[in-house]
Copies of this chain bind each other. A is one copy, B any other.
């Protein structure tokens, strides 16, 4: 017999946490469910906290920050730097690029194939390339 969706989502989150080597605590589970429930998301700590509170999940903002960083370290999230005042976290950890609209503070994935960054430059001596970030800044017109 089939399980309820809620339970399934819960188990999925739990599993994901275990695989990442994180203890599946109540708040980590709830946050994971919010983060990974549908498609890829781009959130700040404030946004996630607000969402959690709105859904009746009891978590402190501090824990949201800690959790986002733990998830990032565990490879479940990617931290995106586009706004000097805020940190965004992306549930899509694959290599991809972003549109960023300052007017509305919205960060979205660039759909379709990656922008081809042909001819990677030679990195400075003593260093190696770790990652290439491409942010296409857009503006409303």
Contact = CB atoms under 8 A, between A and B. Distances in A.
B136 A123 contact: yes
Interface residues of A, number: 37
A116 interface: yes
Contact of A117 (B111, B117, B126, B139): B117
A137 B130 contact: yes
Given A84-B79, A118-B116, A138 B129 contact: yes
A118 B117 CA distance: 7
Contact of A130 (B83, B117, B119, B139): B139
Contacts of A141: 126-128
A136 B111 contact: no
Given A99-B124, A115-B118, 7 more contacts: A79-B84, A115-B117, A129-B137, A133-B133, A133-B134, A133-B136, A135-B135
A63 interface: no
